[in-house]
Amino acid sequence: MKIVLTDSFFKSFKENVIDRHIWYKFKFWKHKWYDLIRGLKNLKAYFKVVIGIYPWNADYTILALTKISLKRLLKYLEDGSEVPETRLPKVKDVKRTIELIDHHLKDDYAERCGWEPDLETIFEPPTEEESKSLKKSYKLQELEWDELFIHLKKMRSWWE
């Protein structure tokens, strides 16, 4: 944007803020309408997560917001104008990142390793089989957590 300085404030204001071709529109508001629309769409997309934010649960907040952002980005990457040789690995990485975040938010590692929660025996010490399943689930959680951050390190190249 070109800034014009004149000898009086009102002349400078007229030159810099008021559009000459459309006298009733200020240049300041030129792109604000689209920012407002985008902001309302963001509020709608992130509302459920923002309502569930608690100050003592940082990983849920950060990962849930990241998951929604990646789902929105994935639509643009899949239909993007980038060549398939570079676009498809990005799409694969984003899908895997969403999957890893989803597993962490659901906290379903023990169920995926064969442990079945039973409300009748929940307060009793675990059996040997349940103990093995829980140890395996802990290892799976650590592996997937490390893999998640390997994928998140590539995030700067995910854009359309």
pLDDT of the residue at 135:
93
Q: What integer pLDDT is reported at residue 148 of this predicted model?
A: 96
Amino acid 82: pLDDT = 86
pLDDT value at residue 126: 83
156 alpha carbon, distance to own chain's centre: 13
Whether residue 131 is contained in a domain is answered as: yes
With respect to residue 29, please indicate whether it lies within any of the assigned structural domains: no
In a domain, 43, yes or no: no
In a domain, 4, yes or no: no
Q: Which residues contact 24 (CB under 8 A, 6 or more apart)?
A: none
Range of the domain at 94: 53-157
CA–CA separation, 155 and 83 (whole Å): 18
With beta carbons less than 8 A apart as the criterion, state whether 93 and 154 touch: yes
CB atoms within 10 A of CB 145: 14
DSSP 18: B
Beta-bridge mates of residue 18: 26
Could you report the per-residue pLDDT of 1-35, keeping only the tens digit for each?
566 666 666 666 666 665 556 555 555 566 677 88
Which is more confident, 85 or 22?
85
Evaluate if pTM is beyond 0.95: no
- Residue 18 phi, psi (nearest 5): -95, 130
How far is residue 136 from each of residues 61, 100, 124, 133, 143, measured CA to CA in Å?
A: 26, 17, 20, 5, 11
Residue 48 has pLDDT above 70, yes or no: yes
Question: What mean pLDDT do residues 28-52 have?
Answer: 84
Q: Is the pLDDT of residue 146 over 90?
A: yes
Q: pLDDT digit string (tens) for 103-144?
A: 999 999 988 988 887 878 778 888 888 889 889 999 999 999
7 is a domain residue: no
- Looking at 28-37, 40-49, 58-67, 68-77, which range is the least confident one? 28-37
For residues 51, 99, 145, 122, the Cα torsion angle rounded to the nearest 10 degrees is: 70
| Amino acid sitting at position 95 | K
40 occurs within a structural domain:
no
Q: How many domains does the chain have?
A: 1
94 assigned to some structural domain: yes
91 within some domain: yes
